[in-house]
């Protein structure tokens, strides 16, 4: 199960400080999304939560962020996908989990299906606002605004 998001400017060449700000902002966002979605993932043994990875790649004129869950059974069954997409009753370990908040969204996460996409959707506006602020700050430091 994976979510990928990117910010890319193809019209103009970015100044190095602006490019750095986008990369740093994307790192903050992917770290937050990985943390919130792992906290929202159902728990049986904890392997699903532990399987989360986040990665940011600097592109020629922006950055791409990726959050992935890769829990599989010993037979190769994609457990992360099943727990994200299927309908099921939460077990006792999942019910014990505490709600967690994103620094980019004022609500809190709920444990269960769609744990990755739901966290991304809820925080989307906050992520956009944060990246815009990072870019504006970089422009000001570069003397562009």
pLDDT the model gives residue 28: 97
pLDDT the model gives residue 66: 95
pLDDT the model gives residue 6: 65
State both tokens at 83.
Answer: 């727990």
Q: pLDDT tens, position by position, for the chain (145 residues)?
A: 566 666 665 666 777 888 899 999 999 999 999 999 999 999 999 999 999 999 999 988 889 999 999 999 889 899 999 999 999 999 999 999 998 899 998 888 899 999 999 999 999 999 999 999 999 998 888 765 5
Q: How many C-beta atoms lie closer than 10 Å to residue 64's C-beta?
A: 17
From the list 41, 17, 23, the residue with the least C-alpha distance to 141 is 17
Number of separate domains in the chain: 1
HSE at residue 138, side-chain half, CA atoms within 13 A, is: 18
Residue in the structure block whose two tokens are 């792992």: 38
Domain that holds residue 90: 2-142
Measured CA to CA, the distance from residue 30 to residue 34 in angstroms comes to 6
pLDDT the model gives residue 18: 86
8 Å CB contact between 59 and 24:
no
Measured CA to CA, the distance from residue 89 to residue 74 in angstroms comes to 23
pLDDT the model gives residue 88: 94
Contacts of 63 (CB under 8 A, 6+ apart): 6, 7, 22, 23, 25, 26, 56, 57
Backbone angles phi, psi at 69, to 5 degrees: -110, 130
């Amino acid at each position: 199960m994976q979510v990928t998001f990117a910010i890319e400017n193809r019209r103009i060449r970015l100044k190095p400080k602006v490019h750095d700000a986008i990369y740093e902002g994307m790192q903050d966002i992917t770290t937050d999304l990985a943390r919130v979605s792992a906290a929202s993932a159902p728990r049986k043994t904890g392997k699903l939560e532990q399987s989360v990875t986040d990665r940011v790649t600097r592109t020629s004129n922006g950055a791409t962020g990726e959050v992935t869950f890769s829990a599989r059974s010993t037979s190769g069954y994609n457990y992360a996908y099943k727990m994200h997409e299927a309908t099921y009753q939460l077990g006792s370990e999942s019910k014990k989990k505490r709600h967690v908040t994103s620094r980019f969204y004022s609500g809190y996460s709920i444990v269960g299906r769609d744990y990755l996409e739901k966290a991304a959707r809820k925080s989307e506006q906050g992520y956009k606002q944060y990246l815009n602020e990072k870019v504006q700050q970089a422009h000001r430091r570069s003397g562009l605004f």
